[in-house]
Amino acid sequence: ALDMYFEVGTSEPKILGFLHRFGLKISKGRFSNLLIKDQEVFHNESDALYESGLRSSSYQQSDSTLTRVNGQNQNYHVVCNRFYSVYRTLPHKDRLSVLDVFRNGRPRKFRLNQIALDCLESVQLSQATRQTLTACCSELEWGEEKFQKHLTALLPQLGHQQRKEITDAAAIAAYWAETDWPVIEILLCDDASNYNKLTRRKMLCWVHEGRPYKKLHPVVPLHRQQLDDFLKCFWDYYRELLAYKQSPSAAERTRLETAFDELFATQTGYEALDDRISKTRDKKSSLLLVLEYPELPLHNNASELGVRRRVRKRDVSFGPRTETGRRAWDTFMTLAETTRKSGVSFYTYLYDRITGANAIPPLADLITQAADNFKLTQSSIAPTY
């Protein structure tokens, strides 16, 4: 029944009906408490496998979607790679919330150092504000309350948006300086602004990049033909990148970089298409990070599929009603998806842990073992220039 509830997403009335057919009489409230309360063993294993998963490869993938908690809209975040998936539900999906997910909900930290100042280069700030921030540049680390008081004392006239940008930059700088929790070096995601600058490198999804082209609906026959011709070249180039991942080399990397420049310098005269091509060209460094790290996927399908599993459960069960229920949803969906990726039956895993047999190794150990066998580590191909 637990397997049906957590992995498949069967509704609670169906589970109770299933139990009643076998003569097991249990109230709805009691059944809910059995599922969501006193689950520290599982919560701890979820946290442990998350840390192991973050250490298991040179990159992580992430995505989010809307969900509901006690009837209120919240956001469901997924962080994953081929070895694990972790689910976390938070009220928001702004950059600080995404950092909360990456840091597994640990207390926020902030640093106004050079990294923070670098993050603010493209932000509209007055010269006086920049000078004040530069004068206070240091490696001193602050908690959230003390940092906000410090920022108010430094810049009492700061506007809301500018304050948010500085706060985000300071949080990113503190995240990059983490030593007691794994820091994501490369993030594979879509082009949503809440992922900007969170990690040192960002790989964009080619499938997401192709979708805006499909939203163009030219009326003129010539424009339709130009769009079709360009999309064929777009996906032909995508297939060349797939081939490169199988046999990477410095020479092929140089050729593909040149081919990218040629393809996305195309001018058709169809204004909407040319504008879209220009936007893709501006994302070159993020779209072509795979040339430097061939182990990176070209798409973000893994995290999108992870999100879809939550959507299926949401469609059946709508959403948890309490913070305890929210945490249980996150934990058990994390365990269900990670056991699947580890080749372990979720039902067998639950039975093993509930009975105390512990014949199945900790999931964190299974992730580490799989990562060691697969050797999914950084494998930069040196450029020839």
Helix, coil or strand: residue 200: coil
Euclidean distance between CA atoms 259 and 244, whole angstroms:
13
Residues 112-155 pLDDT 10s: 999 999 999 999 999 999 999 999 999 999 999 999 999 999 99
**Tens of pLDDT, residues 251-310:** 999 999 999 999 999 999 999 999 999 999 999 999 999 999 999 999 999 998 888 888
**Which has the closest alpha carbon to 229: 269, 279, 191?**
269
The residue length of the chain stands at: 385
- Amino acid of residue 304: E
List, as own/partner pairs, every contact residues 158-166 make where C-beta atoms lie below 8 angstroms and the sequence separation is at least 24, other chains included: 158/129, 162/123, 162/124, 162/125, 162/129, 165/120, 165/123, 165/125, 166/112, 166/116, 166/120, 166/123, 166/133
What residues does 142 pair with on adjacent strands? Answer: 110
Asked whether 172 and 115 are in contact (CB, 8 A), the reply is: yes
Q: Which residues contact 271 (CB under 8 A, 6 or more apart)?
A: none
What are the two backbone dihedrals, phi and then psi, of residue 27, each rounded to the nearest 5 degrees? -75, 160
The amino acid occupying position 120 is L
Residue 379: what pLDDT? 55
What is the structure's pLDDT at 4?
43
What local confidence, expressed as pLDDT, does residue 38 receive?
Answer: 80
Instruction: Tell me the pairing of strands 109-111 and 84-90.
Output: unpaired
Distance between CA atoms of 263 and 257, rounded to whole angstroms? Answer: 10
Handedness of CA 151, 155, 159, 165 (dihedral sign): negative
| Region at 57 (left for phi over 0; alpha for psi -120 to 50; beta for the rest) | beta
List Cα–Cα distances, 164 to 93, 201, 228, 372, in angstroms: 14, 22, 42, 40
pTM value is 0.87
Q: Which residues of the chain have pLDDT under 70?
A: 1-24, 26-28, 31, 375-385
Q: Partners of 187 in the beta sheet?
A: 60, 202
> What pLDDT was estimated at residue 380?
46
Query: Do the Cβ atoms of 336 and 115 come closer than 8 Å?
Result: no
Distance (Å, whole) CA 369 – CA 363? 10
pLDDT at 197: 94
Alpha-carbon 232 to chain mean position: 29
Q: Residue-wise over 122-141: b if at least 16 C-beta within 10 A, else e?
A: eeebeeebeeebeeeeeeeb
Are 324 and 334 in contact, with CB atoms under 8 Å apart?
A: no
